């Protein structure tokens, strides 16, 4: 665990990519094999199953520290992180040990098979043997909140340096459904595994938002435009007469979308298509609200399959006839994709995402303004001679989204943040007018500067009406412009609406509370954009 803690400190204490890559590379060369596997797993979001509640952790930590629980609870919001709070309040270790990372993860995994008393004994024993940094990391593993400032690309680069293997190949290997508890270093990094390779998707190519005026992109003839759809980015894989559906988040979703069970009847083996999973109705994609009914369901009833049928709206072709064609130009990949889709029957669960013809940027800008009418978020711009790269890159692919929807709302509740903002009020609840009453309709916690958060915190301290644990009700006084990407009807909300990705666009100190928007305004937006 000490070696892993040293790695964490090296990464955490530097902002230089070269330093992080060097630290990771040294670790991957020298650390024991099981630790290397688990480090890759942890840095790519694969964590042990949570076996202890935070309530019990707080209670046990207070007992081990010899302090009353109320004092621990008062300390926690100031520190802002439970794992760090526990590491700080516990006494120095009785006997330090240098067990490996994989040893402690094995301890955590075994907790699921024992009763609560045995869990407590195991946790207290670990705390008594680990130094503060190791405790902190151990606690992060317990709570499932382990995160570190390492991107998948950076980790892949470090692995390439350590092993001498191709970075793109490694990125491909790390995707898919592999278990760090059972897989070996050889199987994950070195060996050819046909079964695993058959199901494995390619790393997704991601776009940055357009930064400069679109004219800066150059000649419009060099670019392809299509709608940016609001669904789930995914890959459909057909290999060895078996189909797989993967999300951009590297989640295998094959069972969640039974519509694709017949994909192999229409699409030949050795095919990988990149596209957007969308609900398809009346010959066109529907908005995200329709897809949301399907999200989170591992089994889909027949009624819902009929009401919200899902298709893959195909953007790109990554593999054809068993060959990786990502290095071909988009122009060539698109031509093959079009031929494939032209020959598909109408009932096939794959449709071609059509391009938008344009000859100049001003005409395309006008087209972009009609995106919401098409249930799209904006436009995607792709250079026609671009290869299909891995990860988020600038230059060849850009997303040109619509400006968000906005509404002016009144802050009525405030809650303190976490981490470095634990001493500030950063999480707010907003309301709109319904006659003379204020109706809450959304929460937001981002969009302001630290200076603005400090100012609003000082105001909240002086204008609290009631306290509900960490939440305070405040005098209705401040108006904020709330930006959001979409709106839909919701029976779970008192207002009857729910917003998609709400955030604070600006603090309207120029606007009196009486001039905030109304529930009727929200309902009109729902009618127009919902």
Rounded Cα gap, residues 250 and 245, in angstroms: 10
Percentage of the chain modeled with pLDDT above 70: 97
How much is the average pLDDT of 232-242? 93
User: Residue 491 in 3-state DSSP?
Assistant: coil
388, pLDDT greater than 90: yes
Rounded Cα gap, residues 332 and 360, in angstroms: 23
Angle at 375 between CA 371 and CA 380, to 5 degrees: 50
User: Residue 308 in 3-state DSSP?
Assistant: coil
**Same fold? 205-401, 405-529:** no
Nearest to residue 321, comparing CAs of 242, 200, 243, 239?
239
Rounded Cα gap, residues 332 and 385, in angstroms: 8
Domain 205-401 has CATH 3.40.50.300: no
Angle at 143 between CA 140 and CA 145, to 5 degrees: 60
The more confident residue out of 46 and 36 is 36
pTM of the model: 0.64
Q: Can you give the pLDDT at residue 150?
A: 76
DSSP code of residue 345: -
Domain ranges (residues) in the chain: 2-143, 205-401, 405-529
Rounded Cα gap, residues 127 and 375, in angstroms: 52
Nearest to residue 264, comparing CAs of 292, 237, 235?
237
Rounded Cα gap, residues 171 and 175, in angstroms: 7
Rounded Cα gap, residues 433 and 453, in angstroms: 24
User: Residue 499 in 3-state DSSP?
Assistant: strand
Write out the E strands in 47-177: none
| 8 Å CB contact between 265 and 309 | no
* pLDDT single digits (tens) 405-464: 999 999 999 988 765 666 788 899 999 999 999 999 999 988 888 889 999 999 999 999
Give the pLDDT band (50/70/90) at residue 62: very high
Cβ neighbors of 372 (< 8 A, separation 6 or more) are: 402, 529
Domain 405-529 has CATH 3.40.50.1980: no
Highest CATH level, class, for 2-143: mainly alpha
């Amino acid at each position: 665990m000490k070696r892993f803690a040293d790695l964490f400190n090296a990464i955490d204490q530097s902002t230089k990519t070269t330093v992080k890559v060097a630290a990771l590379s040294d670790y991957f060369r020298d650390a024991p094999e099981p630790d290397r596997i688990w480090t890759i797993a942890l840095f790519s979001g694969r964590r042990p199953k949570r076996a202890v509640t935070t309530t019990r952790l707080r209670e046990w930590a207070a007992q081990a520290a010899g302090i009353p629980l109320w004092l621990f609870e008062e300390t926690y919001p100031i520190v802002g992180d439970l794992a760090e709070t526990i590491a700080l309040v516990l006494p120095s270790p009785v006997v330090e040990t240098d067990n490996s990372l994989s040893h402690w993860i094995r301890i955590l995994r075994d907790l699921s098979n024992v009763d609560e008393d045995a869990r407590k004994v195991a946790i207290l024993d670990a705390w008594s043997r680990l130094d503060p940094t190791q405790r902190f990391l151990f606690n992060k593993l317990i709570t499932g909140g382990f995160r570190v400032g390492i991107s998948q690309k950076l980790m892949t680069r470090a692995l390439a340096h350590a092993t001498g293997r191709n970075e793109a190949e490694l990125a491909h290997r790390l995707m898919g459904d592999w278990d760090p508890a059972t897989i070996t270093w050889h199987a994950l990094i070195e060996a050819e595994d046909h079964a695993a390779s058959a199901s494995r998707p390619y790393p997704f190519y991601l776009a940055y938002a357009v930064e400069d005026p679109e004219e800066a992109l150059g000649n419009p003839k060099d670019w392809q435009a299509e709608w940016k759809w609001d669904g789930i980015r995914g890959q459909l894989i057909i290999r060895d007469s078996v189909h797989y559906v993967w999300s951009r988040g590297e989640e295998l979703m094959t069972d969640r979308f039974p519509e694709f069970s017949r994909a192999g009847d229409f699409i030949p083996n050795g095919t990988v298509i990149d596209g957007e999973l969308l609900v398809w109705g009346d010959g066109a994609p529907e908005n995200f609200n329709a897809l949301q009914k399907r999200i989170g369901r591992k089994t889909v009833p027949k009624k819902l399959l009929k009401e919200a049928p899902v298709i893959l709206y195909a953007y790109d072709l990554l593999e054809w006839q068993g060959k990786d064609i990502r290095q071909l130009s988009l122009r060539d990949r698109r031509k093959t994709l079009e031929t494939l889709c032209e020959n598909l029957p109408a009932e096939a669960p794959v449709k071609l995402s059509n391009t938008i013809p344009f000859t100049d940027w001003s005409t395309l800008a006008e087209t972009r303004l009609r995106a919401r009418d098409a249930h799209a978020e904006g436009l995607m711009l792709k250079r026609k001679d671009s290869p299909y790269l891995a990860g988020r890159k600038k230059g060849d692919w850009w997303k040109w989204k619509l400006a968000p929807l906005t509404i002016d709302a009144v802050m009525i509740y405030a809650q303190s943040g976490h981490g470095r903002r634990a001493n500030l009020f950063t999480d707010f609840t907003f309301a709109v007018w319904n006659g003379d009453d204020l109706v809450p309709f959304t929460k937001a916690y981002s969009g302001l500067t630290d200076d603005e958060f400090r100012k609003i915190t000082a105001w909240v301290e002086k204008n609290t009406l009631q306290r509900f644990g960490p939440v305070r009700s405040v005098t209705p006084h401040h108006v904020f412009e709330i930006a959001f990407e979409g709106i839909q009807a919701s029976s779970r909300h008192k207002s009857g609406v729910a917003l998609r990705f709400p955030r604070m666009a600006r603090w309207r100190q120029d606007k009196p509370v009486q001039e905030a928007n109304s529930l009727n305004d929200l309902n009109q937006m729902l009618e127009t954009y919902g």
